[in-house]
A and B are shown apart, each in its own frame.
Chain A
């Protein structure tokens, strides 16, 4: 049996071994999900409109009564 084994030349000791590498699924970071909600970065137009109306209403309320304001 041994006579049929191929003869493999020895590698020099100091030569680094060529790494054989399988696709690294095994080396991927562990699965440990963390919920990461998308942030809101654009103001909602409706909220802006509401704020504008509230501001105007407050301004009108602060004005003294006169021709520009009934009552």
Chain B
């Protein structure tokens, strides 16, 4: 076992070095080309600054492309150990809830419990619903629906519910309090989100895998997004189902023994968790101090620090979650993640962490400051045009012929094509791979999948400036010390009225307009070049409203449309049986 783990670590070390070297080389090449282009008329500080910004932003893009390429080329996985025969360990499935609709959430528990018993009733798996709900009306409904869940599942003594008086430490604190008070009753815990669904057979497989490897502290699955209805939600669901498995395979090739934890749809060894994952409050006030928001990355790093293996098994199917249905809900969730990831800056020098864990923190931080780097590049480019002197065609006295500056257009175009290629190429390669391997059949066939990929590329390019604006605002709010709090997730159909979209996106329109005006005044030559950024910003409310509308049938098809997973069918059946008159509680 140890030998296998060591060889996995060595292999991962080489793969990581290759990916980091390739992305840094690509970034250095882009920075160098830009520097030559910018310095053709003489070097000034803005050229150096812009070359540096191009280096950083290209590194980020190249890193994503390298992960995808690794995913495409590392098909063969080493065999994963699994415990055959009877399972000895006891498992609890933890469902933390926070102001959720209890009917829908508890129906998920019923569906998973049914699925577990159908798969293999001999493996002991229990459930614990851990409520952090603050709204007393919803809490009362939770208790009523819990009674109903118990009655349906005959779950007394194996399905538990408790509500905390104070939600200290949010989700991480909720789990921590449970583990500290009751953790010794079980060997393993499957951590879910309120919107998670997992097949019973998948849960059993995870239990067998963690039981087979005594050093495995955490096993993460790759959840698929389900039940998306809006244009935005369907596009995200398609991207997650079609592209994410390849990116996850790339990530798995680099993980070694320090894999990722995404906070849910994962199984943990409770002894390891208790030993390593008691999170302290960070010194100072929020947003950088206080409770750790993006606790999952930190918990993965702490398990690795404690000598436990953290692993992503991307081959595990039957793991599901729901995603945001519109840009506003996405931005709201992103605000929380942004604050959490930037907070990791305080942990970069935490004692004893594995170098890869620190690098993961850097990646998480970079994911949020990358938009600011692009914005800074645009601003520096406008300033550079404004301050560039007019070319002097007759620099020599008494020389009658004009001297034209070197034409550097080819370098600029080459760089733009390269950056665009890094953005688009991974997704196109994933599409070609899916067509070649037959995976595209489940996504509407080769033509259908390719059409979806191109539409998704177009849609993501159009809404990118809007998301960039939201992200930039989040980063600036955090840097200015504003705490985003812990807003509950919206789980409705996600449709927004135009008035709601206007209220959420008008500030982006104003910034888009201001950007266009500034470009027109200071650097009119860049006006058309910047239209792909400024135009979507200008019409941000329309984009927010339109993408929240229900998608037509067959838009962005995914395999789950054609063959609904059994646990989803069970969930629907429970929901249908639990329809009115008991569902009078509406959750805001």
**Whole-angstrom distance between the alpha carbons of A31 and B163 in the complex?**
15
Contacts of A44 in B (CB 8 A): 351
Interface size bucket, A side?
20 to 34
Cβ-defined contact, A33 with B156, below 8 A: no
Which chain A residues border B92 with CB–CB below 8 Å?
29
A34 touches B278 (CB 8 A): no
Interface string of A17-56 (1 = CB under 8 A from B): 0111101100111111111111111111001000000000
B582 adjacent to chain A (CB < 8 Å) = yes
A41 to B361, CA, bound (A): 13
A56 to chain B, nearest CB (A): 19
- Contact between B161 and A34, CB atoms less than 8 A apart: no
Is chain A's interface secondary structure helix, strand, loop, or mixed overall?
A: loop
Give the total of B residues in contact with A, Cβ under 8 Å.
43
B346 at the interface (CB under 8 A from A): yes
Tell me how far the C-beta of B190 lies from the nearest C-beta in chain A, rounded to whole angstroms: 14
Residues of A within 8 A of B143 (CB): 21, 23-24
Answer whether residue B160 sits at the interface, using C-beta atoms and an 8 A cutoff.
yes
Q: Which of B180, B270, B283 contacts A42 (CB 8 A)?
A: B283
B144 at the interface (CB under 8 A from A): yes
A39 adjacent to B151 (CB under 8 Å): no
Question: How many angstroms between the C-alpha atoms of A15 and B162 in the bound complex?
Answer: 28
Contact call A42/B150, Cβ cutoff below 8 A: no
Chain B residues touching A, majority SS: helix
Q: Are A27 and B146 in contact (CB under 8 A)?
A: yes
Identify which of B181-189, B414-422, B518-526 touches chain A: B181-189
User: Shortest CB–CB separation between residue B272 and chain A, in angstroms?
Assistant: 11
Report whether B347 and A37 are in contact in the complex, using a CB–CB cutoff of 8 Å: no
* Residues B253-301 near A (CB distance < 8 A): 270-271, 274-280, 282-283, 298
Residue in B184, B298, B351 whose beta carbon sits within 8 Å of that of A33 in the complex: B184
Residue B179 CB within 8 A of the other chain: yes
Within 8 A of A (CB), among B120-144: 128, 143-144
Give residues in B with beta carbon < 8 Å to A.
92, 128, 143-144, 146-148, 150-151, 156, 159-163, 176, 178-185, 270-271, 274-280, 282-283, 298, 302, 346-347, 349-351, 582
Q: Which 6 A-B pairs have the closest CB atoms?
A: A34-B183, A32-B185, A19-B147, A32-B184, A29-B182, A29-B160
Q: A29-B128, A34-B179, A40-B351 are in contact. List 4 more A-B contacts (CB 8 A).
A: A21-B143, A21-B144, A29-B181, A43-B351
